[in-house]
Chains A and B, each alone.
Chain A
Amino acid sequence: MSNLGQQFDTAIDIVTPENIAFQYRLAGPFQRAPAYVIDTIIRSTVIVILGCIGAIAVQSAAPLLILHFGIEWFYGGVFEALWHGQTPGKRLFRLRVLTIHGQPINGVQAVMRNILRAADMMPAFDAARDVPVFGQFGYTFQLGILSCLLTQRYQRLGDLATGTMVVVEEPQRLYGVVQIEEPEAHRLAAELPAGFQVTRGQARALSQYVQRRRGFPWPRREEICRHLGEPLRQKFGLREGISYDLLICALYLKVFVEEHPDYLTSQQPPISAPNLPPEFRR
């Protein structure tokens, strides 16, 4: 089951039948295109090499044509069936095919969605054979793009027919508490009234800011922090002209560090957690 909210995003939440929630980032046609190009290069290279070998070794064209047909039509299906929804191109770009319920795809789904790619590649140029300048080049892929445009999960026709979608595998980085080095922030934290309860939203704002602040120049830090810093300064009865950046850092220390000293794990590297169900982890 998935919940596709009112916001526009490529991320969706899926709850498996075991009642485990996962968040996936969907891969649309543009994120899939580089993987498709890699797979096409691999497929073409294999066909050319086998063709050269076959031309020397075999006198008849029939086995070569069968081989060409097999590779052209079943390359994607076989790889996706054996590699849990991945081809070499998809593996390189960290993409994976799943069912729309977040489950691994089966062999039939893998083969069918790849065979139906032929429909996604339409309209074909063959019909424009008599047109000057262009002649016959191949496929326009517009039906597949149109299908991705019209469906919430960026499903091409092959995906719609087999109930699959393509997701991006990205490790979710879980950070420990950030260490604040400025001694002024620690001094200011001691001056803040004890027992001040931050709301969930304020805690999120503090955490998000402190994790990102090193990337911002000083004037920008003050500009960002002034919005929450000024009402906080008034509430705490602090002097005017205080650095809002330091005040936010001090409150962060008070909330996340002083009251939970065991959280201070900034010397440790961030924890990387895969966002995939256990059946995909090898």
Chain B
Amino acid sequence: MQLDQTRIPIRERGYLELLDLALHVVRRHGLALAVLSLLGAAPFYFLNWWLLSDFSPQDVSSADTFTEDVFQYYFLLVPLLVWEIPIASAFATRYLGMVMFEDRPRLGQIFVEVFKSLPQLILIQVVLRGILTLFCITWVVLFWIWPYMNEIILLERNPLFRGRQNAVSTFSRCSGLHAYSSGELLSRWMMSLLIGIPWVFLLFLATLVVSGSFLGVMSLDAVTWVFVLPIAIWMVIGYFNVVRFLGYLDLRIRREGWEVELRMRAEGNRLRQEMQLE
């Protein structure tokens, strides 16, 4: 493994460039990312459908009732999505972390690596995030204060507690990485919402238009709301998962000089090998 030869050139980037670069990554790793995102999101897609089956919009005869039903359904669906995003994107995030240095990580290898982080994932991203998701105001912690918690748990694997060896714990690593970047992280979160929400609806409408044109099916009935719009939502979430991973790299580059460290480490390893040969 050549530490200074990453698949994505490590340099500082703006948020719009990260969004564009994510398209590039999706094109090159589209199939693997689609499969891993599907593996992560499909269980939650059906879980949400089952949990909210009593609230599905049924009555499409009146426009008022229809709008109210849809609003109620999505009012309940959105917190569920907020809670589910990290677990659903765990496989894809781990894959992206591995593909930075390796050509083709194997599927089993990805599962094993995610499994190693499972205790912290469950404790922080399921239990603690679940509690924080209940209160809308605490979403700022999830998206503003800890935006890259998933990457820290899955890719850095710090211990949960400092311990006797005085190791850097997950939470101290998280606060260390995110410190002094709050303004930028907030603006990135806002930008993501500003781009992501319209994109979901544009994708949804494009699907409707295309299905109407080619299949002759174009209606906003309960099935469309319960099954088609969530697919568009999960697709955009999958894309923003790649953006979030690239944002994590970008933050590490600027805050910690990660690209410099990788280069130093690679040169140090080469020098050690030369010295052993001498």
A and B part of one assembly: yes
Chain A residues in the interface with B (C-beta under 8 A)? 6-11, 25-31, 33-34, 123-125, 127-128, 130-134, 137, 140-142, 148-150, 152, 154, 199, 201-202, 204-205, 208-209, 212-213, 215-216, 220, 223-225, 227-232, 234-235
8 Å CB contact of A30 from B7, B195, B264, B266: B195
A-B contacts, 22 of them at CB < 8 A, read: A10-B17, A25-B17, A27-B20, A28-B17, A31-B19, A123-B210, A124-B209, A127-B209, A132-B63, A134-B205, A140-B203, A140-B206, A201-B266, A202-B267, A202-B271, A205-B263, A205-B266, A209-B257, A215-B254, A223-B261, A231-B272, A234-B275
Decide yes or no: A209 and B260 within 8 Å by CB, A6-B7, A149-B26, A201-B270 being known contacts: yes
CB nearest to B103 among chain A residues: A6
Q: Is A227's CB under 8 angstroms from B265's CB?
A: yes
Shortest CB distance B277–A (Å): 13
Inter-chain contacts of B24 with A (CB < 8 A):
8-10, 28, 152
Decide yes or no: A140 and B209 within 8 Å by CB, A9-B9, A149-B26, A224-B257 being known contacts: yes
| Chain B residues numbered 242-275 whose CB sits less than 8 Å from any CB in chain A | 254, 256-257, 259-261, 263-272, 275
Asked if B208 is an interface residue, CB under 8 A from chain A, the answer is: yes
Asked if B27 is an interface residue, CB under 8 A from chain A, the answer is: yes
Q: Is A133's CB under 8 angstroms from B8's CB?
A: no
8 Å CB contact of B209 from A10, A33, A128, A133: A128
Inter-chain contacts of A154 with B (CB < 8 A):
20, 23
Inter-chain contacts of B67 with A (CB < 8 A):
133
Minimum-distance CB pairs A-B, first 4: A28-B20, A30-B19, A227-B268, A123-B209
Q: Is A7's CB under 8 angstroms from B66's CB?
A: no
Question: Interface of chain B, helix or strand or loop or mixed?
Answer: helix
Inter-chain contacts of A215 with B (CB < 8 A):
254, 257
Shortest CB distance B25–A (Å): 5
Shortest CB distance A63–B (Å): 34
Chain B residues in the interface with A (C-beta under 8 A)? 4, 6-9, 16-17, 19-21, 23-28, 63, 66-67, 70, 195, 202-203, 205-206, 208-210, 212-213, 218-220, 254, 256-257, 259-261, 263-272, 275
Shortest CB distance A231–B (Å): 4
Decide yes or no: A132 and B264 within 8 Å by CB, A141-B202, A149-B23 being known contacts: no
8 Å CB contact of B218 from A131, A199, A212, A231: A131
Q: Is A228's CB under 8 angstroms from B23's CB?
A: no
Shortest CB distance A236–B (Å): 11
Decide yes or no: A228 and B271 within 8 Å by CB, A27-B20, A132-B66, A216-B257 being known contacts: yes
CB nearest to A143 among chain B residues: B206
Give bound CA distance, A152 to B23, whole Å. 10
8 Å CB contact of B260 from A10, A212, A232: A212
Give bound CA distance, A235 to B278, whole Å. 11
Q: Is B260's CB under 8 angstroms from A224's CB?
A: yes
Shortest CB distance A232–B (Å): 7
Give bound CA distance, A52 to B175, whole Å. 56
Give bound CA distance, A28 to B9, whole Å. 17
Q: Is A209's CB under 8 angstroms from B17's CB?
A: no
8 Å CB contact of A231 from B203, B261, B263, B268: B268
Inter-chain contacts of A208 with B (CB < 8 A):
259-260, 263
Give bound CA distance, A213 to B261, whole Å. 11
Give bound CA distance, A149 to B270, whole Å. 38
Give bound CA distance, A227 to B265, whole Å. 5
Give bound CA distance, A225 to B267, whole Å. 11
Q: Is B209's CB under 8 angstroms from A7's CB?
A: no
Inter-chain contacts of A125 with B (CB < 8 A):
205, 209
Give bound CA distance, A235 to B270, whole Å. 13
Give bound CA distance, A6 to B6, whole Å. 10
Give bound CA distance, A27 to B23, whole Å. 11
Inter-chain contacts of B266 with A (CB < 8 A):
201, 205
Q: Is B271's CB under 8 angstroms from A235's CB?
A: yes
Shortest CB distance B269–A (Å): 8
Shortest CB distance A131–B (Å): 5
Give bound CA distance, A104 to B147, whole Å. 42
Shortest CB distance B202–A (Å): 4
CB nearest to A134 among chain B residues: B205
CB nearest to B195 among chain A residues: A30
Give bound CA distance, A234 to B24, whole Å. 43
Inter-chain contacts of A148 with B (CB < 8 A):
23
